[in-house]
Chain A
Amino acid sequence: MADEWQSKLDPYLDGELSGEDMRALDAHVRSCPSCSAEVLSRVQLKRAIQSAGKRYAPSAEFRRSLENKIAPRRSRGIAWDRLAIALATILICVAAILVYQGRQNLNRAQLYSEVADLHVSTLASSTPVDVVSSDRHTVKPWFQGKIPFTFNLPEPKDSEFVLLGGRVAYLRQTAGAQLIYQVRKHQISVFIFPENALGGSFASESAVRKELSFSVQTWAHDGLRFIVVGDASPDDIRKLADLLKTAQQS
């Protein structure tokens, strides 16, 4: 057996010879009985080692123990991922709510401001009211056909509030009623608008609050938004609001 082949037998059987060397050795082994016997015995040895070498298997207990040491990291990793996603979602929701609330607040502040403007400009006008009457039976019918809704006015008797009259007011491109009341020289505007036209910008119902130094109270009833605004005391505003609320229920 040629030594030059001998040294290549192991790489040949380990599949590590180049294609050319492999073919050359193949050809030689076929024609050389000594080399082919050697190849056969080496193949047998390889197989024997392979078969004998696969000897040990880990116990199920050890496998579980190791998998538990490795796998929890993955599950913790996933938990972190999920936590991060959940946190991000919450943050986005909170941000969206804050933005929404911010816009709502801004919207509300703008509306109060517009309502206050309407009140002031009405009082500053030379003709504050279009229908001048303290008689609710005159004022209420006057609005018919001018605004797309109707409302009730409180009985004037036993009340310190005097109805001066009414006019059509516009807020957010919507026609509504504006009533002017007087109490101890303070004039108070009562605005009534369809609630849906204002886009739900007001809190459904508020106690009397100060907006731009005016006292304001607002509430909704049967799809109508009532806003009472004036420079009278918060107590007067609340009383007038209560009278109006009672009137709507009758």
Chain B
Amino acid sequence: MEVSKDRLPAAVTFDELALPLFDQLYNFARWLTQSREEAEDLVQETFAKALRGFPSFQPGTNFRAWMYRILRNTFLTSRTGLKAAPTYSLDDENLAPLEPGTSQTPEAILIERSNQHLVQSAIEELPLPFREILLLCEVEEMSYQEISETLSVPIGTVMSRLSRARTALRGIIKQKLEGA
């Protein structure tokens, strides 16, 4: 989905831009909410808000990041989102970096395909800020700049949070493998 990276043509309509993002937004919403109904409500509300706000959308800015930002902000003010918020506030980028030693990747991850379920449940266990940034980076393949726009944080924060998220995920995977 490359529309977001392009400058918007003058007469492009909302649905032409937004509908191609539907599947990805739904996937992202489902990861955030962990529930089908909530994800559908969230996506629906996101589209409704974006449609209303579209006249004020600045052409030339990143449409995809704008949509994800609306979705995420909508989620954070939802009941589920508010529950996850305390976890979110704990995510202090100024904390000391995790020990490099904990970033050792389990050998077993090399057989990633067969361990898809394990990785999925590890992602589910990640705190919301780590979960969302990893998904934006790896699944949505957003650039740091786009992630920065989506999450409304500086690029330095994007980098440190990504690093911490990866380390945390490795830790969880390692635990799961050792426990298995």
Contacts and interface: CB of A to CB of B under 8 A. Distances in A.
Contact of A66 (B14, B22, B159, B162): B22
Interface string A68-94: 011101100100000000000000000
A52 B169 CA distance: 13
Interface residues of B, number: 43
Contacts of B48: 69
B144 A66 contact: no
Given A47-B112, A53-B139, A10 B162 contact: yes
Given A55-B120, A56-B30, A58-B26, A49 B169 contact: yes
B112 A56 contact: no
B19 A70 contact: yes
Interface size, A (range): 35 or more
Given A49-B119, A52-B123, A53-B31, A58 B105 contact: no
Given A44-B110, A69-B44, A53 B26 contact: no
A222 interface: no
B27 A44 contact: no
A44 B169 CA distance: 13
B27 A55 contact: yes
Interface of B: 13-15, 18-19, 22-23, 26-27, 30-31, 39-40, 43-44, 47-48, 51, 100, 105, 109-110, 112-113, 115-116, 119-120, 123, 134-135, 137-139, 141, 143-144, 159, 162-163, 166, 169-170
